[in-house]
Structure 1
Amino acid sequence: MIRIIYIALFAMIASACSVPCQKSLVAKSASGYVVADIPPDYEIEDVRKLPQDFGVYAKFLPVTPLDKACRDSLVSEFRRKYYAPWSGGGPLSDIPRSIQTMKEHAGRDWYGENKRKVPNKVLEELLTNCALDRFPAMNLMAIAIVPTSLRVLPTTKPFFVTPDDFPFDALQNAGLKMNEPVRVLHVSADGVWAFAETADANGWVPLRDIGLIQESLAAEWMKKAEVVVVKDFAPIRDGQEQLALRARVGTIFPLAGEYEDAYEVFVAVSSSGNGVREIKVRVPKDLARRFPLEVGGESITVIGDELIGKSYGWGEYFQGRDCSALMRDFYLPFGIWLPRGSYNQIHSGKGISFSGLSPAEKERFIREKGVPFLTIIHMNGHIMLYLGSRDGKALIFHSLWKVKVKDREGCEVKLVVGKAIISTLTPGSELSLATGSLLEKVSSMLILSDRCTSR
């Protein structure tokens, strides 16, 4: 299912407070709630008290997390989805819905990076540049030659619902990794942007960031063994070709050769006529491993510790990760496919509902039935990885933008977390939470190994 950014209905709700909200928050002490001034860089208690180190929790992983048949099934699914843009056939996207989404985004009010309303003229020009009267005009195999983004409209400018809605740019659909297969369906009227799709996302990408790949080269690459990047922002350099980029965890390269201290990989670079050619680049073995990794304590520690603490990024904005991008990149090195978007992820298999359970019953159910490192937990708009339990509490790994708390006047205040953390299901509970805990809101979970038996 293609990840689409839907238009939401927003209502302006008048504050019930009779005085302006203060920046001081209500903190909890042994004797109850007391007023305390919390600085903007306040670290929630879970982050301060729980080790932010996957090595501590790797012991919770089952001895045999995936049998060979299940692992082979998941890797086969991954390859099918990852290389879907090169599989031939028609568009993977829902074309009418994609057109409707572009029109809807160009037809409503937005605020720009200057906190001012985006002029209607700008929106009209963007929609005209989409050239929807002939959309889609092509169906061509391509590849990302640099890390880039898929955008709802052909612009790098952010669009926000409110002036203070950073970082939730409504035009940011998803990120693309270098060397990631895509399919090009259209080119903008000005020739600067291409509308591209993967198996689960689509959008406008700068034409200079991708290149058309010959069918024969794509077929050859799909047959090769691969390596995957395991260090975030790993330098990919080649002096002769003047290539100097940084690859993120989960970037996949076809294997060309292996040396004692490095892998030699194929990388796509720009060629004439919007095409690409392959070059060979050596990647040190401390930056990449053979794909897919075995699911084990050492490997999950390597990947988890590389992702923890990294900045939140809505739709991978600014090369960050939101909750679903974090889950996707955690599992990608193991050859386990998760689509983009938390809703799509929890529906990628047969989930288990928490309907009718109290918060305490939910936590007990997760601890008893969840498989550490192979279970994702969902609530509306958020997805988390279950790590196991400690001191009777279920522990999760997730990319969390904020918690909402109350100040001394009872007004709601946003406390930004803004990164990937290990926490309980009640992060920020040492403060006066304004809208309840995650534990109260979680609605279902999915054990990824169950996808092997559901097919």
Structure 2
Amino acid sequence: MPVSRLSRSLLILVLLAGMPSLVRAAQQPAEPLPLPASGVLGVEDAQLVPEFWISRLEQPDAVVLTPADIQAANARLLRLEPSLHDLAALPDTLSRQAVLGWIGGVSRLPGDPLFDEEGQRYPAAMAAGWQQSLALDRVPERVTPRFGLIVRRAPLRTFPTELRAFAAPGDVDIDRFQETAEFPGTPVAVVHESADGRWLFVLSPRYAAWVQRDFVALGARAAVLDYATRTPFRIVTGARVESVYTPEVPQVSRLEFDMTTRLPLATWLAPDQPVNGQTAYAAWPVTLPARGPDGELVFQPALIRKNADTADGYLPYTRANLIRQAFKFLGERYGWGHDFDGRDCSGFVSEVYGSLGVLLPRNTSRQAASPGLVHRSFGPGDGHAARLAAVQALQVGDLVFIPGHVMLVIGHLHGQPYVIHDVAGMRYRRADGTLADIKLNAVSVTPLLPLLFNDGAPLVDRMTSIVRVRH
């Protein structure tokens, strides 16, 4: 989110049919882009499977970064990136100033009016109530953080409210109070409560925002941090898997786990011991956090079917794995801040890389500019030719940033790079000069060139950064 958190992935991409002067300027062969019945310029059905792109690569299974390389890169990012929180390194007490800084960093009202789901404008008194619910006057001079684990997919919010807020009447896709979501087993540090006590302000490893108390099981600091590092474990490598249905323990029945969720194995169970009334021989017994009668942290066994898309560790970082992981989300509806049980552009790329063990910041603004990542930044002094040359030199796995959006490069075709990204839509000029508007609103494959930004400028002239997840 290079401009603001409200700009994430809202751009409309504008494409010109054929291969215009942008590509000729880069001395690439001019190839016309196909225009299928879908209207998605440059993309035919054959391109919608990962093997199409993998087959075009040399040594697609070569390891790009070893586990040791990734561990070192993650440690560097955690040390240098201010949006990340090393919960294990938090002191026993925090200053009031630090807590107010975290809350103030997210709980800000936009300057423009906000509307409810019926298209009615929220009155000023409502906004005042949201501010009062923060209970900032109750933050003491020294705060002792409490610790907990997320027990089910949990929305993290701008303010401690379930009310949805939209920028315009009828624009109900983008809830301005939705920040992100955390998955079961994510550790959090609780540093404040809302005025009514129903909401907690938490630090997760990659975010700081409000979450409903019922999504968090509070426990001893050591127990919470230990759970996040337990071995052995399974990593969810599919877009989404769920635990086996169990009426005996409803809290862990059919829980959804998104890609990157880490599930410690329940090694304390005997191999022939039934789990929640069911044999475990065809499933992985895992340990899940749950809430006790008073919201305290308890652990429950559950089952994940062995034919579900999980792995016994992070996948090797190869270009083939990266492409396969990205395509597991193809066609998923766009979900601002992980809304609609989906994800947005920065959530998409961070979970794809996360399944390989690679840590990225949560939002595009930090992904694009983090001092902990290898990136090339672009500014007013970078001319069109230099930007275009950088685009034509893109490699599989590179992340391309423009204001409010990130794209993942998957290969080259028709003389230009192609990307997969979670995006609102695209527009392109037909042969007769008219504009075609295509609403994508999903994880989609598109060509990168020739794109125009919202203001009509070539996309390459609006790039803010290219990040290459390498040494």
Asked if these proteins are the same fold (TM beyond 0.5), I'd say yes
* CA displacement at 1:403 relative to structure 2: 2.9
Match of 1:95 in 2: 99
DSSP-derived class of the 1:328 partner: helix
DSSP-derived class of the 1:383 partner: strand
Match among 84, 87, 112 for residue 85 of structure 1:
87
Match of 2:264 in 1: 254
Whether the aligned pair in 2 keeps the contact of 1:263 and 1:282 (CA below 8 Å) is: yes
User: Are residues 1:333 and 2:377 paired?
Assistant: no
Name which of structure 1's ranges 174-183 and 289-298 shifts more when overlaid on structure 2: 289-298
Counterpart AA for 2:418: L
Normalised TM-score (structure 1):
0.80
Alpha carbons of 1:417 and 1:435: their partners in 2 closer, same or farther (altered >3 Å)?
farther
Name the % identity.
Answer: 19
* CA displacement at 1:43 relative to structure 2: 4.2
The gaps in structure 1 that reach 5 residues or longer are 9-24, 31-40, 451-455
User: Are residues 1:129 and 2:129 paired?
Assistant: no
The gaps in structure 2 that reach 5 residues or longer are 8-13, 20-36, 272-279
Whether the aligned pair in 1 keeps the contact of 2:61 and 2:319 (CA below 8 Å) is: no
Tell me: higher relative CO, structure 1 or 2? Use CA pairs within 8 A at least 6 residues apart: 2
Match among 365, 372, 375 for residue 351 of structure 1:
375
Match among 222, 234, 237 for residue 230 of structure 1:
237
Name which of structure 1's ranges 267-276 and 135-144 shifts more when overlaid on structure 2: 135-144
Normalised TM-score (structure 2):
0.77
Match of 1:195 in 2: 201
User: Are residues 1:214 and 2:216 paired?
Assistant: no
Written as runs of structure 1 = structure 2, the 5 A alignment for 1:23-422 is 43-48=39-44, 51-59=47-55, 60=57, 61=60, 63-67=62-66, 69-74=68-73, 84-89=86-91, 95-101=99-105, 104-105=108-109, 109-135=113-139, 138-221=144-227, 222-239=229-246, 240-242=248-250, 243-257=253-267, 261-285=282-306, 286-296=308-318, 299-348=321-370, 349-355=373-379, 361-368=386-393, 370-373=394-397, 375-403=398-426, 415-422=438-445
Counterpart AA for 2:284: Y
* CA displacement at 1:361 relative to structure 2: 5.0
DSSP-derived class of the 1:281 partner: strand
Name which of structure 1's ranges 91-100 and 388-397 shifts more when overlaid on structure 2: 91-100
- Supply the distance in 1 between the matched residues of 2:18 and 2:366 (Cα, whole angstroms): 40
DSSP-derived class of the 2:52 partner: helix
Number of matched pairs: 419
- Supply the distance in 2 between the matched residues of 1:417 and 1:28 (Cα, whole angstroms): 17
CA RMSD of aligned residues (A): 3.8
Counterpart AA for 1:253: L
